[in-house]
């Protein structure tokens, strides 16, 4: 997509990126730099909402520096004092989102921002309510990817708000439940083939307890839906 094409064709749309973080001090500057780069090159209006859950490694301090670099109109800091879970982080982020479309993605670089223009293009082509990244179609792939990893997704804001109201999961099953609920509610869903990579810096958030919780939540999801 040529620079400026997005604003000419779809002027008026704004995209909010929700970035929940916990101990992502090393990854955060790079993911934000990449997001800014690809949004600016595509010409779309955007904001990046960083929802840090009391990271002890200095993630919030890094986020404050990014706010100074890129401006408070582009980097919105909406931290919480303690680690409250992925699902509630998205709910918290939506309350502060000014865009009419919302991206949800990881801050650990498992989702490369270079695919963002393709998500936007796909959404406009089919007027989709939801666009999901998938490694099962086209040229999508996976490098060191863990099945528990979350998927990058683009939502209409009002659709995302309705979906989070329906979801009962609060942890790592949250995104999976959202796509199931979207299908149940007959929302239109487009797919973009993307490549997933393992986290660049730091360790996975999923320790033994988190994995057990994930499996329990997954079982509950399939039993109840």
Model confidence band, residue 135 (pLDDT cutoffs 50, 70, 90): low
pLDDT on residue 10: 54
Q: What are 139-162's pLDDT values in tens digits?
A: 444 433 344 445 678 999 999 999
- Mean predicted confidence (pLDDT) in 122-131: 96
Confidence at residue 133, expressed as pLDDT on a 0 to 100 scale: 85
Share of the chain above pLDDT 70, in %: 72
Residues 16-71: tens digit of each pLDDT: 999 999 999 999 999 999 999 999 998 999 999 999 999 999 999 999 999 999 99
pLDDT of residue 114: 87
Mean pLDDT of the chain: 79
What was the pLDDT predicted at 176?
A: 77
Residue 154 in contact with residue 103, Cβ under 8 Å? yes
**Residue 86: per-residue pLDDT:** 78
Q: How many CB atoms lie within 10 A of CB 5?
A: 14
Q: CATH number of the domain that 137 lies in?
A: 3.90.550.10
Q: Which residue is associated with the tokens 């439940």?
A: 177
Instruction: Say if pTM beats, i.e. exceeds, 0.85.
Output: no
Q: How much is the pLDDT for 11?
A: 61
pLDDT tens-digit map of 158-183: 999 998 888 776 666 677 788 888 98
* Residue 206 confidence (pLDDT): 45
Q: Which tokens in the block code for residue 23?
A: 């101990």
Give the total number of structural domains in the chain. Answer: 1
Q: Enumerate long-range contacts of 83-89, CB under 8 Å, 24 or more apart.
A: 83/22, 83/53, 83/54, 84/53, 85/170, 85/171, 86/20, 86/150, 86/170, 86/171, 86/172, 86/174, 86/175, 87/164, 87/167, 87/169, 87/170, 87/171, 87/174, 88/170, 89/18, 89/20, 89/51, 89/53
Task: Give pLDDT, residue 154.
Answer: 94
Domain membership of residue 123 as a residue range: 5-224
Say if residues 60 and 28 touch (Cβ distance below 8 Å).
Answer: no
More confident residue, 213 or 184: 184
């Amino acid at each position: 997509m040529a620079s400026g094409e997005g604003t000419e064709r779809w002027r008026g749309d704004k995209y909010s990126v929700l970035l929940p973080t916990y101990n992502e001090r090393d990854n955060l500057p790079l993911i934000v730099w990449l997001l800014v780069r690809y949004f600016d090159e595509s010409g779309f209006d955007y904001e990046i909402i960083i929802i840090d859950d009391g990271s002890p490694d200095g993630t919030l301090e890094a986020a404050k520096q990014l706010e100074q670099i890129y401006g408070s109109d582009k980097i919105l800091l909406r931290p919480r004092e303690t680690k409250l879970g992925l699902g509630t982080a998205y709910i918290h982020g939506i309350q502060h989102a000014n865009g009419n479309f919302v991206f949800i993605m990881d801050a650990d670089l498992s989702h490369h921002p270079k695919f963002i223009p393709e998500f936007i293009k796909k959404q406009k082509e089919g007027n989709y309510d939801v666009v999901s990244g998938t490694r099962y179609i086209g040229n999508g792939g996976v490098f060191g990817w863990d099945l528990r990893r979350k998927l990058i997704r683009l939502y209409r804001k009002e659709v995302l708000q309705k979906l989070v109201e329906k979801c009962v999961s609060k942890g790592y099953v949250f995104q999976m439940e959202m796509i199931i609920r979207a299908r149940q509610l007959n929302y239109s869903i487009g797919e973009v083939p993307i490549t997933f990579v393992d986290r660049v810096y730091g360790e996975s958030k999923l320790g033994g307890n988190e994995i057990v919780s994930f499996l329990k939540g997954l079982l509950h999801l399939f039993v109840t839906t």
